[in-house]
Structure 1
Amino acid sequence: MFMKQITEIKVALSPFNAASKSTRLFLTHVHTNNTRKINPTLKIATDVLADPKAPSQLKVTYRDGQKVALEPDNLTINNILQIVNKHAKKLEDIEQANNW
């Protein structure tokens, strides 16, 4: 993942809702020591919803200010990662091109 290009991740989920599995997996991907080394200023906010049937929400903010909002209950973890990485990869390519 291109975590260096992400400034903020906001997650709202009901942990006991089976549909929120992909959201929980996404959190395990982004909330690691390696991520903190790559981007120590990354803000991860998690909101635990009391309603066990409430849908999960995922909001990602990139360095250029663009935001992506997802309802990940109907997505697989691979789909979520692909969507989140799509814009981050563009930003990474631009940054690399500017460093030449």
Structure 2
Amino acid sequence: MITRYLTEISTAFNPFSPRAKTARLFLSFLPGNARATMKINTKILPRTSREKSFVQVKFKDGKEMKLDSEQLGIKGVMEELDRHSRILARQEELTGN
């Protein structure tokens, strides 16, 4: 997963729900120094909550993505984020920064 272009991450999930697996895995895939390089907000929902789990990410170029982690799964979430990160990497390469 390309995390160099991420500036802010927000997640919300019920840790007791099997549907929260994607959000938990996503947080575990972040590098150890992630809190020093980006803002991370995690909202733990109560056991009785009916609110859906989500992963919301903000990139360096200002684009925001709110992904339904219950529907996409970890592979889908990572593909979506890597797709935009590769676009940013190409733009950075072309401008020579």
TM-score (norm 1): 0.85
**TM-superposition CA deviations, 1:29-48 (whole Å, max 9, x none):** 11x32xx27x8421111000
Q: How many residues align?
A: 96
The aligned residue for residue 24 of structure 1 is 24
How high is the sequence identity, in percent, across the aligned residues?
28
User: Is there any run of 5+ residues in structure 2 with no aligned partner, and where?
Assistant: none
How do 1:20-99 residues align onto structure 2 when only pairs under 5 Å count? Answer: 20-30=20-30, 32-33=31-32, 36=33, 40-50=36-46, 51-99=48-96
Give, in whole Å, the separation in 1 of the partners of 2:69 and 2:3.
Answer: 19
Tell me how far 1:54 sits from its aligned partner. 2.9
Checking the alignment, whether the CA contact within 8 Å between 1:9 and 1:59 is kept in structure 2 is yes
Aligned residue for 2:11, secondary structure, equals strand
TM-score (norm 2): 0.88
Aligned CA RMSD, in angstroms, stands at 1.8
Which moved further from structure 2: 9-18 or 90-99? 90-99
Give, in whole Å, the separation in 2 of the partners of 1:52 and 1:65.
Answer: 31
Aligned residue for 2:93, secondary structure, equals helix
Give, in whole Å, the separation in 2 of the partners of 1:10 and 1:73.
Answer: 15
Instruction: State the AA in 2 paired with 1:61.
Output: K
Checking the alignment, whether the CA contact within 8 Å between 1:59 and 1:68 is kept in structure 2 is yes
User: Is there any run of 5+ residues in structure 1 with no aligned partner, and where?
Assistant: none
